[in-house]
Structure formats: structure tokens, C-alpha cells
Amino acid sequence: MPWKLASFGTLLAAVILTGCSTSQATKDPVAPETGHSRCESKAAEFAIGKKASPELLEQARTRAGAQSARFLKPNDMVTLEYRSDRLNLNTDANLVVTRVNCG
């Protein structure tokens, strides 16, 4: 019986370590430079006080130089990742933009 546990432990360790290793073929390629390195939220502050719409989101994203943009409503769940190329337009319950920031 002890040899079965030892064999199982060895097999388990090998499986775990295999999952930790990476090869060159499985690594993500480096994203090409797109010309947009950061978002500039000051350029999108014109949106404060305006009603949220897809057109407003695209205008703000373009002016800020961001790769992506999103509206954040008061009770929306968000991830804690920081992305310097993403524009956030915070809204109130009536979908009026109250704050603009990058991240």
C-alpha cells in the first residue's frame, strides 16, 4: 500500500510541474505596437454631463487616444486590472457621465 501512495504522489507532482512549464510555441506573441500607448483622460472630459450613448463612447475613446472604452454604471462589477490604454466613463443611475479616467 505505501508504494501505491508514493507512486501516486510522484505522478501528481509530475502533472503539476508539467502544467507550470511552458514552451516557446505556447507563449503568447508580443502584441504589435499600434501607436496608442496610453489614454489621456483630460481629452475626454467633454463627455462629463452628457447622456451615455455609443456615439459618445466612441468620440471620447478617439479623443483620449485609448484602445478601448467602457461605461461604468454605479453598481457595475469591474476587474481590478489596470490598463493604461482603456478609457472609463463613469455614469450615474440616469446614465449621465460623471467622471472620466483611464485604467
Per-residue pLDDT of the chain (103 residues; tens, 9 = 90+): 565 555 666 666 665 666 655 554 444 444 444 454 689 999 999 999 999 999 999 999 999 999 999 999 999 998 889 999 999 999 999 999 999 999 9
Q: Which domains does the chain show, CATH number per domain?
A: 41-102 (3.30.10.10)
Residue closest to 84 by CA, chosen among 47, 29, 49, 38: 38
Q: What is the pLDDT of residue 40?
A: 94
* Per-residue model confidence (pLDDT) at position 27: 43
The secondary structure of residue 79, as a DSSP letter, is -
pLDDT at 38: 86
User: 38: how many CB neighbours lie within 10 A of its CB?
Assistant: 12
Q: Which residues of 5-36 are buried (b: 16+ CB within 10 A; e: fewer)?
A: eeeeeeeeeeeeeeeeeeeeeeeeeeeeeeee
Q: State residue 25's pLDDT score.
A: 45
CA dist 7 and 29 (Å) reads 38
| Adjacent-strand bridge partners of 90 | 72, 99
